[in-house]
Amino acid sequence: MKKILVIDDEVAIRDLIELVLRRESYNVQTAGDGRTGLKQLETFEPDLVVLDLMLPDCSGYDLCKEITGKRTIPVIMLSAKNEVIDKVLGLELGAEDYMTKPFDNRELLARIKVILRRNESRKETSEATVAQPTRIMHEELTFDLENRRVLKNDMPVSLTAKEFKILETLLKRPDKIFTRDELLQIGWGYDFMGDSRSVDMTIMRLRKKLEDNADEPKYVRTIYGFGYQLGGGET
């Protein structure tokens, strides 16, 4: 039974989502504020988080960043804001998906199922490649596959699940130039409802975290007209 944590300060919406999810046999816990949600995140260990943007004690953006920065738990962000910039910011901070209130319960269920199915596929792929090396070295970077962490000059770098997946892909195939569509399929899946701009935003965040000078990237290079590559090529 998959576990889902719902963090929303609106009691009616929180109860409705809980009811809909329980009917689909999900194990559900709810929280009305960010502090309670973080506590339940530790004790409940959910497979997915449904997170409201507007919380009484903190910003949903900050909470999303904290969740995805430390864990590989997917987050679906809910908000009454429907401006593109709000959606882009949510995705930049690591949210897997973004839905605008009011929303159709059937669409929420469909998106949850897609994300959980995609995560299961990733786990199966990871288990199938267990015989591969558990550490990859690239200049100052150490990529620890077993513990799912990245070090730069032996100092840990906090990455979201998608940033980790994109960097892993580039590190494993350093000579290959990956198109945006290829990285989109690898990081988000064939059934992702967004577009390749999500890849560009993830690469931009990666550069900010890894590069000494993001304007002159050393690790994640842009190959103009083609896509992205680890090292080599023109920037």
Residue that terminates a domain, selected from 96, 127, 158: 127
138 and 63 inside one domain:
no
Backbone angles phi, psi at 22, to 5 degrees: -65, -35
CA distance 171 to 166: 9
14 and 114 inside one domain:
yes
89 and 186 inside one domain:
no
pLDDT band at 234 (very low <50, low <70, confident <90, very high): very low
157 and 120 inside one domain:
no
Residue that terminates a domain, selected from 127, 143, 158: 127
Tens-place pLDDT, residues 63-85: 998 898 878 889 999 988 878 88
Can you list the alpha helix ranges (DSSP code H) found in the chain? 11-23, 34-44, 60-70, 84-92, 105-128, 161-172, 180-188, 197-210
123 and 198 inside one domain:
no
pTM: 0.57
pLDDT average, residue stretch 97-117: 92
Decide if 7 contacts 50 (C-beta within 8 A): yes
What is the residue range of 160's domain?
Answer: 131-230
Assigned domain for 235 exists: no
Q: How many domains does the chain have?
A: 2
DSSP secondary structure letters along 3-69: EEEEE-S-HHHHHHHHHHHHHTT-EEEEESSHHHHHHHHHHH--SEEEEESB-SSSBHHHHHHHHHH
Assigned domain for 89 exists: yes
pLDDT band at 49 (very low <50, low <70, confident <90, very high): very high
Residue that terminates a domain, selected from 127, 149, 180: 127
Decide if 166 contacts 184 (C-beta within 8 A): no
89 and 146 inside one domain:
no
DSSP state of 198: H
Neighbours of 215 (CB within 10 A): 7
Least confident range from 34-48, 57-71, 98-112, 131-145: namely 131-145
CA distance 112 to 103: 13
